[in-house]
Amino acid sequence: MLRAGTTHSFEFFPPKSDDEALRLEKTLSELAPLHPSFVSVTYRGGAESRQRTFDLVTRIERSGVMTAMAHLICVGHSRAEMRDILKNYLDAGVNNVMALGGDIPDDPALIASEFSHAIDLVALAREVGDFSIGVAAHPQGHPRSKDRATDRHFLAEKLAIADFAVTQFFFELDEWVRLVAELGELGVEKPVLPGIMPVTTLGGIERMAAMGARVPAALVARLERANLRGGSSAVRSEGISAAVELCRELLHSNAPGLHFYTLNQSTATREIYTELFS
Protein backbone atom coordinates (compact mmCIF):
# COMPACT_ATOMS: atom_id res chain seq x y z
CA MET A 1 0.00 0.00 0.00
CA LEU A 2 2.74 2.44 0.93
CA ARG A 3 4.55 1.73 -2.34
CA ALA A 4 1.34 2.29 -4.32
CA GLY A 5 0.65 5.84 -3.17
CA THR A 6 -0.61 8.09 -0.40
CA THR A 7 -2.49 6.21 2.31
CA HIS A 8 -5.08 7.26 4.87
CA SER A 9 -5.63 5.08 7.90
CA PHE A 10 -7.55 5.08 11.17
CA GLU A 11 -6.75 3.81 14.66
CA PHE A 12 -9.24 2.32 17.12
CA PHE A 13 -9.11 0.74 20.56
CA PRO A 14 -11.04 -2.41 21.52
CA PRO A 15 -14.26 -1.73 23.46
CA LYS A 16 -14.48 -2.57 27.15
CA SER A 17 -18.28 -2.56 27.48
CA ASP A 18 -21.45 -3.09 25.46
CA ASP A 19 -21.92 0.68 25.17
CA GLU A 20 -18.39 1.14 23.84
CA ALA A 21 -18.94 -1.75 21.42
CA LEU A 22 -22.06 -0.11 20.02
CA ARG A 23 -20.25 3.20 19.61
CA LEU A 24 -17.37 1.50 17.81
CA GLU A 25 -19.72 -0.35 15.46
CA LYS A 26 -21.31 2.98 14.57
CA THR A 27 -17.88 4.54 14.02
CA LEU A 28 -16.72 1.68 11.80
CA SER A 29 -19.85 1.91 9.66
CA GLU A 30 -19.43 5.68 9.29
CA LEU A 31 -15.75 5.49 8.36
CA ALA A 32 -15.96 2.49 6.01
CA PRO A 33 -17.25 4.66 3.09
CA LEU A 34 -13.97 6.61 3.29
CA HIS A 35 -12.20 3.41 2.15
CA PRO A 36 -9.24 3.57 4.54
CA SER A 37 -6.01 1.98 3.34
CA PHE A 38 -5.92 0.12 6.65
CA VAL A 39 -7.09 0.42 10.23
CA SER A 40 -5.13 -0.40 13.37
CA VAL A 41 -6.33 -1.68 16.74
CA THR A 42 -4.48 -0.90 19.96
CA TYR A 43 -3.67 -3.25 22.83
CA ARG A 44 -2.60 -2.27 26.34
CA GLY A 45 -1.69 -5.67 27.78
CA GLY A 46 -3.24 -8.50 29.76
CA ALA A 47 -5.16 -11.54 28.56
CA GLU A 48 -8.55 -9.80 28.43
CA SER A 49 -7.28 -6.83 26.42
CA ARG A 50 -5.30 -9.15 24.15
CA GLN A 51 -8.40 -11.17 23.32
CA ARG A 52 -10.49 -8.05 22.67
CA THR A 53 -7.83 -6.78 20.26
CA PHE A 54 -7.54 -10.16 18.53
CA ASP A 55 -11.31 -10.51 18.16
CA LEU A 56 -11.71 -7.00 16.71
CA VAL A 57 -8.74 -7.25 14.35
CA THR A 58 -9.74 -10.62 12.96
CA ARG A 59 -13.38 -9.61 12.58
CA ILE A 60 -12.40 -6.49 10.62
CA GLU A 61 -9.99 -8.48 8.43
CA ARG A 62 -12.50 -11.23 7.70
CA SER A 63 -15.20 -8.73 6.78
CA GLY A 64 -13.22 -7.88 3.67
CA VAL A 65 -14.18 -4.21 3.99
CA MET A 66 -10.98 -2.93 5.61
CA THR A 67 -7.43 -4.22 6.05
CA ALA A 68 -6.53 -4.53 9.73
CA MET A 69 -3.27 -4.07 11.61
CA ALA A 70 -2.84 -5.47 15.12
CA HIS A 71 -0.87 -3.69 17.83
CA LEU A 72 1.49 -5.86 19.88
CA ILE A 73 3.44 -4.84 22.99
CA CYS A 74 6.51 -6.17 24.75
CA VAL A 75 5.37 -5.52 28.31
CA GLY A 76 4.08 -8.57 30.15
CA HIS A 77 4.96 -11.18 27.51
CA SER A 78 7.32 -14.11 27.24
CA ARG A 79 8.83 -14.97 23.88
CA ALA A 80 6.87 -18.23 23.73
CA GLU A 81 3.60 -16.43 24.43
CA MET A 82 4.28 -13.77 21.81
CA ARG A 83 5.27 -16.41 19.27
CA ASP A 84 1.85 -18.04 19.79
CA ILE A 85 0.09 -14.69 19.43
CA LEU A 86 1.87 -14.00 16.15
CA LYS A 87 1.07 -17.48 14.80
CA ASN A 88 -2.59 -17.03 15.75
CA TYR A 89 -2.73 -13.80 13.75
CA LEU A 90 -1.17 -15.49 10.72
CA ASP A 91 -3.65 -18.36 10.99
CA ALA A 92 -6.46 -15.78 11.06
CA GLY A 93 -5.18 -14.10 7.90
CA VAL A 94 -3.74 -11.03 9.63
CA ASN A 95 -0.19 -10.22 8.51
CA ASN A 96 0.07 -6.54 9.44
CA VAL A 97 1.33 -5.77 12.95
CA MET A 98 2.54 -2.77 14.94
CA ALA A 99 5.41 -3.72 17.28
CA LEU A 100 5.51 -1.49 20.37
CA GLY A 101 7.29 -1.36 23.69
CA GLY A 102 4.04 -0.66 25.53
CA ASP A 103 3.10 1.52 28.47
CA ILE A 104 4.07 0.33 31.93
CA PRO A 105 0.80 -1.07 33.36
CA ASP A 106 -0.67 -0.32 36.78
CA ASP A 107 -0.81 -4.05 37.58
CA PRO A 108 2.71 -5.14 38.68
CA ALA A 109 1.94 -8.68 37.47
CA LEU A 110 1.91 -7.40 33.89
CA ILE A 111 5.29 -5.66 33.93
CA ALA A 112 7.56 -8.70 33.52
CA SER A 113 8.76 -9.25 29.96
CA GLU A 114 11.34 -11.27 28.07
CA PHE A 115 11.72 -8.38 25.62
CA SER A 116 14.01 -5.48 26.39
CA HIS A 117 12.80 -3.17 23.62
CA ALA A 118 10.37 -3.09 20.70
CA ILE A 119 13.18 -4.05 18.32
CA ASP A 120 13.26 -7.49 19.98
CA LEU A 121 9.57 -7.90 19.15
CA VAL A 122 10.20 -6.84 15.54
CA ALA A 123 12.94 -9.47 15.27
CA LEU A 124 10.63 -12.19 16.63
CA ALA A 125 7.87 -11.26 14.19
CA ARG A 126 10.40 -11.58 11.37
CA GLU A 127 11.25 -15.09 12.60
CA VAL A 128 7.63 -16.22 12.89
CA GLY A 129 6.24 -15.24 9.50
CA ASP A 130 5.83 -12.91 6.57
CA PHE A 131 4.51 -9.87 8.40
CA SER A 132 4.42 -6.25 7.38
CA ILE A 133 5.75 -4.59 10.53
CA GLY A 134 5.27 -1.05 11.74
CA VAL A 135 6.98 0.65 14.68
CA ALA A 136 6.33 3.82 16.66
CA ALA A 137 8.15 7.10 16.08
CA HIS A 138 8.10 10.17 18.33
CA PRO A 139 8.72 13.50 16.60
CA GLN A 140 9.47 15.15 19.95
CA GLY A 141 11.52 12.14 21.10
CA HIS A 142 10.36 9.18 23.16
CA PRO A 143 9.60 10.23 26.77
CA ARG A 144 12.13 7.67 28.04
CA SER A 145 14.94 8.68 25.65
CA LYS A 146 17.69 10.78 27.21
CA ASP A 147 17.83 13.09 24.17
CA ARG A 148 16.59 13.37 20.59
CA ALA A 149 19.81 12.11 19.01
CA THR A 150 19.65 8.92 21.07
CA ASP A 151 15.98 8.51 20.21
CA ARG A 152 16.72 8.77 16.48
CA HIS A 153 19.48 6.16 16.63
CA PHE A 154 17.19 3.68 18.38
CA LEU A 155 14.44 4.39 15.84
CA ALA A 156 16.87 3.91 12.95
CA GLU A 157 17.86 0.52 14.38
CA LYS A 158 14.19 -0.53 14.53
CA LEU A 159 13.51 0.64 11.00
CA ALA A 160 16.50 -1.31 9.71
CA ILE A 161 14.38 -4.46 10.18
CA ALA A 162 10.81 -3.06 10.27
CA ASP A 163 8.89 -1.82 7.22
CA PHE A 164 7.52 1.56 8.25
CA ALA A 165 6.84 3.84 11.22
CA VAL A 166 3.76 5.65 12.50
CA THR A 167 4.35 8.75 14.59
CA GLN A 168 2.83 9.88 17.82
CA PHE A 169 0.46 12.74 17.06
CA PHE A 170 2.05 16.18 16.68
CA PHE A 171 0.94 19.65 15.63
CA GLU A 172 3.58 21.36 13.48
CA LEU A 173 4.90 20.36 10.06
CA ASP A 174 8.50 21.01 11.07
CA GLU A 175 8.34 18.20 13.65
CA TRP A 176 7.69 15.57 10.97
CA VAL A 177 10.11 17.15 8.47
CA ARG A 178 12.88 17.19 11.09
CA LEU A 179 12.19 13.58 12.10
CA VAL A 180 12.38 12.33 8.51
CA ALA A 181 15.51 14.40 7.80
CA GLU A 182 17.30 13.13 10.89
CA LEU A 183 16.44 9.54 9.99
CA GLY A 184 17.69 10.22 6.47
CA GLU A 185 21.03 11.31 7.87
CA LEU A 186 21.21 7.87 9.49
CA GLY A 187 20.51 6.16 6.18
CA VAL A 188 16.81 5.44 6.80
CA GLU A 189 14.42 6.03 3.90
CA LYS A 190 11.47 3.87 4.95
CA PRO A 191 8.00 5.48 5.16
CA VAL A 192 7.14 7.46 8.28
CA LEU A 193 3.39 7.98 8.52
CA PRO A 194 2.40 11.13 10.43
CA GLY A 195 -0.14 10.60 13.22
CA ILE A 196 -2.98 13.10 13.39
CA MET A 197 -5.20 13.99 16.35
CA PRO A 198 -7.00 17.33 16.45
CA VAL A 199 -7.17 19.32 19.69
CA THR A 200 -10.90 19.90 20.08
CA THR A 201 -11.08 21.04 23.72
CA LEU A 202 -8.94 23.22 25.96
CA GLY A 203 -8.73 20.32 28.40
CA GLY A 204 -7.18 18.23 25.67
CA ILE A 205 -4.07 20.42 25.70
CA GLU A 206 -2.91 19.06 29.05
CA ARG A 207 -3.95 15.49 28.24
CA MET A 208 -1.92 15.48 25.05
CA ALA A 209 1.12 16.88 26.82
CA ALA A 210 0.83 14.07 29.36
CA MET A 211 0.80 11.59 26.47
CA GLY A 212 4.12 12.93 25.20
CA ALA A 213 3.02 15.46 22.57
CA ARG A 214 3.23 19.07 23.70
CA VAL A 215 0.78 21.41 22.00
CA PRO A 216 2.76 24.42 20.70
CA ALA A 217 2.12 27.81 22.27
CA ALA A 218 0.84 29.29 19.00
CA LEU A 219 -1.89 26.65 18.74
CA VAL A 220 -2.79 27.03 22.42
CA ALA A 221 -3.20 30.78 21.91
CA ARG A 222 -5.29 30.17 18.80
CA LEU A 223 -7.64 27.86 20.68
CA GLU A 224 -7.89 30.24 23.63
CA ARG A 225 -8.87 33.07 21.28
CA ALA A 226 -11.51 30.82 19.77
CA ASN A 227 -12.86 30.08 23.23
CA LEU A 228 -13.20 33.80 23.99
CA ARG A 229 -14.90 34.28 20.65
CA GLY A 230 -17.41 31.45 20.77
CA GLY A 231 -16.86 28.97 23.59
CA SER A 232 -16.36 25.22 23.27
CA SER A 233 -17.92 24.91 19.82
CA ALA A 234 -15.52 27.54 18.46
CA VAL A 235 -12.57 25.74 20.09
CA ARG A 236 -13.59 22.51 18.40
CA SER A 237 -13.98 24.19 15.01
CA GLU A 238 -10.59 25.90 15.34
CA GLY A 239 -8.94 22.64 16.34
CA ILE A 240 -10.37 20.88 13.28
CA SER A 241 -9.19 23.73 11.04
CA ALA A 242 -5.68 23.52 12.50
CA ALA A 243 -5.60 19.75 11.84
CA VAL A 244 -6.75 20.25 8.25
CA GLU A 245 -4.00 22.83 7.70
CA LEU A 246 -1.38 20.46 9.11
CA CYS A 247 -2.59 17.60 6.91
CA ARG A 248 -2.44 19.77 3.80
CA GLU A 249 1.10 20.83 4.65
CA LEU A 250 2.11 17.22 5.19
CA LEU A 251 0.63 16.05 1.90
CA HIS A 252 2.30 18.98 0.11
CA SER A 253 5.58 17.86 1.71
CA ASN A 254 5.12 14.34 0.28
CA ALA A 255 4.15 12.55 3.47
CA PRO A 256 3.45 8.90 2.56
CA GLY A 257 0.02 9.06 4.19
CA LEU A 258 -2.02 10.25 7.14
CA HIS A 259 -2.85 8.12 10.19
CA PHE A 260 -5.80 9.40 12.23
CA TYR A 261 -6.20 8.65 15.94
CA THR A 262 -10.00 8.42 16.13
CA LEU A 263 -10.60 7.64 19.83
CA ASN A 264 -13.38 5.40 18.45
CA GLN A 265 -15.36 8.38 17.19
CA SER A 266 -15.86 9.30 13.56
CA THR A 267 -17.06 12.90 13.47
CA ALA A 268 -13.76 14.80 13.65
CA THR A 269 -12.00 12.36 11.33
CA ARG A 270 -14.79 12.58 8.77
CA GLU A 271 -14.76 16.38 8.91
CA ILE A 272 -11.00 16.51 8.32
CA TYR A 273 -11.16 13.92 5.55
CA THR A 274 -14.00 15.76 3.80
CA GLU A 275 -12.05 19.03 3.85
CA LEU A 276 -8.97 17.32 2.44
CA PHE A 277 -10.36 15.02 -0.20
CA SER A 278 -13.85 16.18 -1.25
pLDDT digits (tens, 9 = 90+) for 187-212: 999 999 999 999 999 999 999 988 87
CATH of the domain at 172: 3.20.20.220
Model confidence at 108: pLDDT above 70: no
pTM, full prediction: 0.93
Is residue 38 assigned to a domain?
yes
Is residue 176 assigned to a domain?
yes
Is residue 57 assigned to a domain?
yes
Is residue 88 assigned to a domain?
yes
Is residue 1 assigned to a domain?
no
* Confidence band for 115, pLDDT divided at 50, 70 and 90: confident
Report the domain count for the chain. 1
CA 129, CA 222: separation in Å to the nearest integer?
A: 48
Catalytic residues: 11
What is the torsion angle, in degrees rounded to the nearest 10, for the CA atoms of residue 198, residue 159, residue 186 and residue 212?
A: 30
Is residue 2 assigned to a domain?
no
Question: pLDDT higher for 212 or 99?
Answer: 99
Is residue 70 assigned to a domain?
yes
Q: What would the mean pLDDT of 174-179 be, rounded to a whole number?
A: 98
CA distances from 206 to 107, 202, 209, 215, 262 (A): 25, 8, 5, 8, 18
Which domain does 162 fall in, by range?
7-277
Is residue 159 assigned to a domain?
yes
